Structure 1
């Protein structure tokens, strides 16, 4: 475990606050964990470090990674301020920034999801929802941060997740309106920003009120969006361009993907040329990996070679990523509140009980047992979760 050497202000051993935990694979294949709120502390009065602002349990959060080991984590703190934790992976360690105070972004809604499509060509966008339901777009580039607020967009309802992705054409974010329509927002700033109601281009079934939302993009303009309908079938939207004729949708429930559990959280992983797969929960709370190989299929995730199938915690979210060698990685919280990590594919899978292996602080149980995030850099997988039982 790596933390700041001196105990930060207001932090006592064994708890009293909520923290972001990173679990990272080391070069030898083992894992280590870090309390990022402690690791990203800054010097305060009398040389006593001040921890990064503590995350709100009601807020979502998101992480992204690229290159050798650059990582960013975004969340809302207990006052709704948007916080960035950042490192370039070198000996300088972690740092943090309060983006609400430093660049003036609005405070986040108490239950706001966050989304990012990752870094591409030195540019990244981060999306969240303000207190009045307005979608907020933050753009990070070599010239710094910019903010876009488009008041012409429909409001993002409290029940809607966010999903974001990038491809060669640009950057996109998706949400579900109060009337159950799937909205796509492209670009940054007016008048270049484009808003599309995808229900106008396809006859889409209504999303489950408990559905997750996932999106991936690749190539010049390939786009895929996934959600669960009210019959708990996985729906795929496929498209490119700006014409109705270039878009279509499929109910994957009849094409090899098992029925989901009560809508199910969703996470999708892209590679450079296609969708690597989608992680989801099955009807019996079993973790599943759905992927396309000459047709859709569903693979069960097991915990050992003897075939023990885990049960996912009732309020666990899911996170996934693909490595550069196209191995899928999936993380979730099981019914014993243990953080699990799986690497596929079926012919060459591995599984870790990270909580048992590393004696991790427990995943937060007050809100969703996540939220979870998973990124894969050149140095390996990095898993992020929230705890309200941190150890110094």
Structure 2
């Protein structure tokens, strides 16, 4: 465990915190309280922690390169926060105060399409249901914001998903009629807003459906959600020339989801690696893509014990540069779990038991959990309300 070298101010008893669990070069894992690690010294031997997260916060993370990581959440006042490191030391930024953007709606989702060619976007929803866009451009030296009043309002029940590819940046949500909306671009109009449900004649989503997106190459896009029968739906976008298509992956052998299920998608430079989800028995599954779809079940032991996920668990996944998938979730004993595929060479970690981690906060379904993979290895992020220094 790593902590800052000064005594934290205003910390006593229970408080919420962002925890990172990271794999070390020797293959072991260590954990860090990021609110303490990113704190700022305000006097001799005194540290002001980074603002504490709201337990109803949206949550997102991005990782790239040798070991650059960014984590996004809202603090207890609704301000949108960034925790950041490029491999040595953590810092933080308050976007609401530095950019003057609105506070986030209670339980607003947060999403990012990650860093690509020195550009990254972060999306959230304000108290009026407006989509707020934060954009980082290395070439322009920092962050900019966009409050786009002409975009349809994002309902309180809708998740957000985002991607980047060579064409640009995209964000997705369900509108008040349950249609999948795609927003492309940033800044002044023209910005493209497409009702993909009308355009591609999509089936209606489950009211509890998660939403996941990934993109690659010049204009490849994949979007995933659950329909009203809890089948996993895949939307495939090939750009303006070839348009959109979709398929019901139940016909490809993918199990039905549990009540819409949280969803997470992992991709590599060459495309989709797979989708992590929960089935109707509350068991975690890896829907693997390798020229065709197949389901890989997630076990805790070689003897075949299958974990059951906590009722409030989210799911997160990522793929390494060598296309190995990693999946994380919270098990029914409130332990943080990590699985590495593929099925022929999988490994399993009960990170809470192995590292004596602070307990995962019991938050809303599809609540805060994120996973990224850099050259340094996998990094898992979660919220706790029982931290240690």
TM class by shorter chain equals over 0.9
2:62–2:114 Cα contact (<8 Å) kept: yes
1:262-301 paired onto structure 2 within 5 Å: 262-301=259-298
**1:345-388 Cα shifts (integer Å, max 9, x gaps):** 11111110000000000000144484100000000000000000
Structure 1 counterpart SS, 2:7: coil
Distance 1:352 1:332 in 2: 11
In the other structure, the counterpart of 2:118 is 122
In the other structure, the counterpart of 2:131 is 135
- TM-superposed deviation, 1:10: 0.7
1:256–1:295 Cα contact (<8 Å) kept: no
In the other structure, the counterpart of 2:323 is 326
Runs of 4+ aligned residues of structure 1 deviating over 3 Å after TM superposition are: 366-370
Is 1:233 equivalent to 2:204 in the alignment?
A: no
Distance 1:99 1:173, change over 3 A: same
- TM-superposed deviation, 1:298: 0.9
Distance 2:274 2:283 in 1: 16
Distance 1:341 1:179, change over 3 A: same
Structure 2 counterpart SS, 1:2: coil
Query: TM-score scaled by structure 2?
Result: 0.97
In the other structure, the counterpart of 1:308 is 305
In the other structure, the counterpart of 1:170 is 168
1:135–1:156 Cα contact (<8 Å) kept: yes
Distance 1:197 1:106 in 2: 26
RMSD of the TM alignment (CA)?
1.2
| Number of equivalences | 387
In the other structure, the counterpart of 1:247 is 244
- TM-superposed deviation, 1:99: 1.1
- TM-superposed deviation, 1:73: 0.5
1:352-363 paired onto structure 2 within 5 Å: 352-363=349-360
**1:98-151 Cα shifts (integer Å, max 9, x gaps):** 111111111100110000000000110000001100000100112211111111
2:7–2:45 Cα contact (<8 Å) kept: no
Distance 1:21 1:192 in 2: 40
In the other structure, the counterpart of 1:345 is 342
In the other structure, the counterpart of 2:151 is 153
Gaps of 5+ in 2: none
Query: TM-score scaled by structure 1?
Result: 0.97
2:326–2:340 Cα contact (<8 Å) kept: yes
- TM-superposed deviation, 1:310: 0.4
In the other structure, the counterpart of 2:11 is 11
**1:14-36 Cα shifts (integer Å, max 9, x gaps):** x4210000000000000000000
